[in-house]
Chain A
Amino acid sequence: MTSTTSTPLPAVDRPQPSATRGERGARRRIRKDLLRSRIAAWSAVVVIGAFGLLPVYWLLVTALSTPESTFQFPPKLIPTDLTLSNFTALAENDQLIKYMINSLVVASITAVLSVVVATYMGYSFSKFRYRGRRSLMHLVLASQMFPQALLLVTLYTVFSSFGMLNTYSALVLSFTTFTMPLCVWMLKGIFDTIPDALLEAAAIDGASRWRTLHSIVAPLAAPGMIAAGLFAFVRGWNDFIFALTLADKEKQTLPPGLVSTYIGEFQTAWPQLMAASLVVSVPVIVAFMFLQRYLVGGMTAGSVKS
């Protein structure tokens, strides 16, 4: 913005042919444009809305349907006999409750482990400058993009040779492969917003570096750490492939558990499966309602802006 030569302003008495008519025309055009863009916008919202939300409607309808009305063709788009029996059946299924407890345990431990480890790493990346820092950061970022299916094959052999298959530890560790990179980048973004002056002030007051981190920085970053933890929880809760492969019925989590419970070789219990799917989605939806605020910021911090 520092141009050395400033262009002279045009003379004031420059001829302005039919100023009022042109202006009125432009205004009319803008109004027409606005109307047209409103119409275009609403059409897009309606069409994409149908694509985006009708499946959700169908999820709800099926979850509330009786088995008889589900296996009717063509399906009734507006259901007449609704029932909650699919949900009550869930509550009575001990195996599903076990899967859910497994999911809660594994996703929670994953979240805590990821946040603790990522806090130190993110803090280091954010507040110190040292050789190799950028390479380490890139390594963390890139590790998020390695093929999971391949990683799984060798994690399986590693866990197998340590006798760790079908344990919570195997699930937690394997989930950490995709939650940690995310948390490191989110937390680095959060530490970046904490002014360096604060750390310097703490140092002048005689606080050690550990003390500064634990008693000054961490409390300030707490909301961000909770957000990162929720993200990690959700990712662990949603995982399918690792839990499917590394654990059996005893330690399996809900997503693969639903497959083994409901998807049969010949017939799938669709209403129950849809009801269970809704139940699986609830914690995630609740988490995201809390996370709304961090959503864009977190995503951009982790992947886009760096």
Chain B
Amino acid sequence: MIRGLLKQRGRVLLGFFLIAGPGWARKPPPKPLPIKLTAKISNRFNWDFKKDNLLEDTSQTNTEMIAQAKYLPNPRVQVVVGEWMVDNDLRPYNMYLNLSSDHVNFRLGNQIVRWGKADEISPLDVLNPEDLTLGFNRVRADRKIPVPMANLEFLSDAISLQGVFIPFFEKSIFKYTGDDWAYFDHLEKKYGPINIIEQEPAQTMKDAGYGGRLSGALGRFDLAFSYLNHRRDIPTLVGFPIGPPVVPGQVGGIEDLVKFSKFGFPPFIPPQPIQFRYDREERYGFEFETTAGSFGLRGDLSYVSSQSFTTQNLQEQWKPVITAVGGMDYSGPAGSYINVSVSQTQIRDYDPILAPTEEKTTTLSAQFSLELMSGNVKLSYLGYMNVTDKSYYHNPKVNIGYIPNIGIEVGVDIYGGPSYSQTGFFGNNDQAYLALKYFF
């Protein structure tokens, strides 16, 4: 499209030179501007499998648009300006200046940086917050929100060193109440309004995040070590000053939390608001990637020295946490692809009073796809299963790509699990969808 516009502009200029005479015509024709425009517009039509309450709309349309302009005056300089509109909410997208030389790359501005080698479940891929307003309906890459960052890389054939500085804290986008995809919505419908207070960090340099990553290859092994000091973009529950007594053998859940905050523990403890805050954490990471025979192998390991957990009587305990992820993929004939990974999170120095959080949590994730009709039709599946609490998300879908610049996707999102689990919150939100995407 932009080429067409430039051609048209060229014709107008040519006409002008001919009219203006040979003096003008001797000047060289203008060079086309090194600008590239891209855009992605998607409409997703969702139909809920069931109606939760009288006020709920069982069908919904979500519109998303990303428009981006790239200015590339020479191979070493790049300026990118992009906007992201999600259901009439306009946000900045990629907006950065990139300068590069043979061994240095510097990017300053709104950007996405992804660490870790694992796929959908990666404990090291936490530099950018995510848009969780539609649960997990979009893949992780599409949920990432670009944030202001300075990103400096020193690159050589043997090793690369990267340093990032994130001056201002930005949290992930989600809702507590008032929406099917809100975390407390089902409980608010059951118990009435819930008093939630969020302690937001001040937007000062004290909340800056920073980190570094050293990566290199050892034979056919790609290895990387990283360190990140930042505020988690997902909130944690602030411990209650006085919580309810622990009932031996009873496992607490979010519903108990809501009930306690609304009704207290009569006659001794009055109702109290639920408070959330965004904790600072230090995260150490190790990642690897290699190939073995017909398989690709990769994994992430993260260590957080101190993370807040809620006990059964709604107090807080801080514990170190280790998360390990191992994944394997295989590309087969006829465009088939299989990718499976296993993740285990372990709370060190575990205390049984932390229930419902288990000492070890195991999650499986899987992705399969098969291309048909010269790649114009793709059958695929993406899903997760938390083996520990039996929660799950399944997303089988069909992609049709016959029409240039238009993508059609038909699929279903199926959520389930206990109500205190992440996907269990959305257990009533199973839906079928049709997504239409136009891009250029």
- B is a partner of A: no
Q: Report B's interface with A, CB cutoff 8 A.
A: none
Q: Report A's interface with B, CB cutoff 8 A.
A: none
